[in-house]
């Protein structure tokens, strides 16, 4: 996994720079998402790994399926990936690109672990409170962990806000031991 991320990083950085310079961050986000969907297709995987097809043919097929066949930058990007046999790291490229895009936009990832599933209204209310607490826009990722017993635990970068019953019980146990 680490090796594929290492391989994908320069491609993601190059696409990010291109997208930022052309002020098309969202468009490239959509393009990369489509490319990942194409690459993940079982039939396409047979074509990509088949020595009967040249890199140019594979690139042309990707471009034609991309929904944006007239985009020269996209065609050049796919062509470089195909020639370097790097179409298999498109998922990692997209993930790294999204991280760069979020950092550029000042959006931080927030892992919210809740004892119970949150509905949309609860999540919206919680996000407004968390964004004011952490001082910025947050992109939530919600997980459910019944071991928390009640409440939530939020991790944003290296900051953790533990408002769970399990966290309070653990803190109480530590205080009693001391």
Q: Are residues 110 and 98 in the same domain?
A: no
Residue with tokens 């550029």: 104
Q: Are residues 15 and 81 in the same domain?
A: yes
Q: What is the mean pLDDT of residues 123-146?
A: 93
Q: Are residues 126 and 79 in the same domain?
A: no
Q: Are residues 130 and 165 in the same domain?
A: yes
Q: Are residues 129 and 153 in the same domain?
A: yes
pTM greater than 0.85 (yes/no)? no
Q: Are residues 72 and 146 in the same domain?
A: no
Q: Are residues 21 and 83 in the same domain?
A: yes
For 35-48, what is each residue's pLDDT tens digit? 999 999 999 988 98
Check residue 158 and give its pLDDT. Answer: 86
Check residue 68 and give its pLDDT. Answer: 86
Q: What is the mean pLDDT of residues 100-117?
A: 92
Residue 2 has pLDDT above 70, yes or no: no
In whole numbers, what is the pLDDT of the chain averaged over residues? Answer: 93
Q: Are residues 53 and 35 in the same domain?
A: yes
Q: Do 8 and 89 contact (CB within 8 A), yes or no?
A: yes
Q: Are residues 80 and 166 in the same domain?
A: no
> Confidence band (pLDDT; 50, 70, 90) for 89?
very high
Q: Are residues 83 and 120 in the same domain?
A: no
For 38-86, what is each residue's pLDDT tens digit? 999 999 988 988 899 999 999 999 999 998 888 999 999 999 999 999 9
How many structural domains are present in the chain? 2
| Domain end position, chosen among 56, 87, 103 | 103
Higher pLDDT, 143 or 106: 143
Q: Are residues 98 and 135 in the same domain?
A: no
Q: Are residues 94 and 116 in the same domain?
A: no
| Domain end position, chosen among 103, 121, 143 | 103
Q: What is the mean pLDDT of residues 138-165?
A: 93
The CATH number linked to 70 is 1.10.520.20
| Domain end position, chosen among 103, 134, 159 | 103
Q: For residue 57, give its domain range.
A: 2-103
- What HEC string does the chain produce? CHHHHHHHHHHHHHHHHHHHHCCCHHHHHHHHHHHHHHHHCHHHHHHHCCCCCCHHHHHHHHHHHCCCCCCHHHHHHHHHHHHCCCHHHHHHHHHHHHHHHHHHHCEEEEEEEECCCCCHHHHHHHHHHHHHHHCCEEEEEEEECHHHCCEEEEEECCEEEEEEHHHHHHHHHHHHHC
The CATH number linked to 130 is 3.40.30
């Amino acid at each position: 996994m680490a090796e594929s991320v290492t391989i994908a990083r320069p491609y993601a950085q190059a696409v990010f720079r291109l997208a930022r310079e052309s002020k098309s961050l969202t468009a490239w986000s959509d393009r990369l998402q489509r490319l990942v969907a194409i690459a993940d297709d079982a039939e396409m995987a047979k074509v990509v790994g088949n020595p009967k097809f040249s890199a140019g043919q594979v690139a042309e097929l990707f471009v034609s399926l991309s929904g944006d066949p007239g985009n020269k930058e996209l065609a050049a990007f796919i062509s470089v990936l195909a020639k370097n046999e790097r179409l298999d790291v498109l998922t990692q490229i997209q993930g790294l690109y999204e991280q760069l895009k979020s950092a550029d936009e000042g959006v931080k990832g927030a892992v919210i672990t809740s004892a119970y599933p949150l509905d949309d209204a609860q999540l919206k209310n919680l996000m407004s409170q968390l964004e004011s607490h952490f001082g910025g826009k947050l992109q939530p990722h919600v997980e459910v962990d019944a071991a928390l017993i009640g409440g939530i635990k939020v991790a944003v970068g290296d900051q953790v806000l533990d408002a769970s019953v399990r966290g309070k019980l653990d803190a109480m146990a530590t205080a009693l031991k001391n």
